[in-house]
Structure 1
Amino acid sequence: MKKLLIALLLASPLLSIGQGQDKDEIMEVINQVFEAMRTNDSTLLKQSFVENPNTFTAFYDNDGNSTLVSGEFKRFKDAVGQPKEQVWNEPIWNEKVEIDDNLASVWVDYAFYVDDQFSHCGVDAFHLIKREDGWKIFHLVDTRRKENCEIPDEFKP
């Protein structure tokens, strides 16, 4: 029993190193999504996702009812890739990454701007799976609101 405990204690730092590397790789995938949005690069965006991922938006409708709307990834990808004069900028902060084996969950606060004009804020929640070609997003849901947005100064234009 004592040997098992010692072996676990010695392996613990190695597990942390592996998870740190995974966390960096996961955040690289997440940041790639926002870079793709800023640069109108639908190819870069697609590289972050599995084929046919699930996307949703959770919000309150005009009557105050909690609503969940399913998105279509192809529409999102096409909108990102559409040439446009404005820059879509979505800074994120307060990242929370949870990893178990080949499954990861990421929760981030965000603010969305069109050029320097504030549009909305909320939370993006991602689920990723680790495959042979790296971490890929298979599920994305966001919340959206225009009020009660606590945006740190460094993420404001």
Structure 2
Amino acid sequence: MKKIVFILCCGFSLTILGQQDEKAEIMKVINGVFEAMRTNDSTLLKQSFVENPNTFTAFVNQEGESKLTTGDFQKFIDAVGQPKEQVWNEPIWNEKVEIDGNLASVWVDYAFYIDDQFSHCGVDAFHLIKQENGWKIFHLVDTRRRTDCEVPDDIKP
């Protein structure tokens, strides 16, 4: 009986370690997006995504209406790759990663800064697929707001 319990515990531990490794690989992809934004590296940005991913922004407009806009991924790539004097910095926290086979979901809080100047905050929600060349983002939706932003002090620039 002790052997069975030991084997089950070992198997469970290996499963947890495997999930932690997968989560680290997934977060490496997510962090690559923000590194690309900070360094104007459109090549690094494209490496994090499948070809032609879906991107959206959900927000409440000035009239209080809930809106969803479709993003243009090529425009995002172009904007990130443009040389600029200011640094786009989007620190994240409260990472939540869920995995089922080759599908992953990542939900993070973020604050967006241009240099050290706060712009907005919200949530980024990513969906990723694991392919032969690793995890890639195929869907990204973010929320954006300028109020009710509780950015942790250790996240602020």
Q: Distance in 2 between matches of 1:67 and 1:9?
A: 48
Q: Residues 3-82 of structure 1: matches in 2 within 5 Å?
A: 9-82=9-82
Secondary structure, aligned partner of 1:156: coil
CA distance in 2, matches of 1:131, 1:55: 20
C-alpha separation in 1, matches of 2:15 and 2:45: 30
Shift of 1:156: 1.2
* Matching of residues 105-124 of structure 1 within 5 Å: 105-124=105-124
2:155 counterpart residue number: 155
Per the TM alignment, residue 13 of structure 1 is displaced from its structure 2 partner at its CA by: 1.5
Counterpart residue number, 1:90: 90
3-state secondary structure, aligned to 1:76? helix
Q: What secondary structure sits across from 2:154 in the alignment?
A: helix
Rounded to whole Å, the distance in 1 between the matches of 2:73 and 2:4 is: 47
Does 1:141 pair with 2:141? yes
Partner Cα distance (1:87, 1:122) in 2: 19
TM-score normalised by length of structure 1: 0.94
Distance 2:80 2:4 in 1: 52
CA–CA separation in structure 2 for the residues paired with 1:152 and 1:55: 27
CA distance in 2, matches of 1:98, 1:5: 27
Amino acid at match of 1:103: L
The sequence identity of aligned pairs, in percent, is: 74
TM-align CA RMSD: 1.5
Shift of the 101–5 alpha-carbon distance from structure 1 to 2, 3 Å rule, reads farther
Aligned to 1:100: 100
SS at match of 2:57: strand
Instruction: Give aligned pairs, total.
Output: 155
Unaligned runs of 5+ in 2: none
- Match of 1:101, as an amino acid? G
CA drift at 1:62:
1.3
4 and 131 in structure 1: CA distance in 2 versus 1, 3 angstrom threshold: farther
Deviation at 1:11, TM superposition (A): 2.1
User: In the superposition, relative to structure 1, how do residues 140 and 7 fare at CA in structure 2: closer, same or farther (>3 Å)?
Assistant: same
Take 1:5 and 1:81, find their aligned partners in 2: how far apart are those partners?
Answer: 54
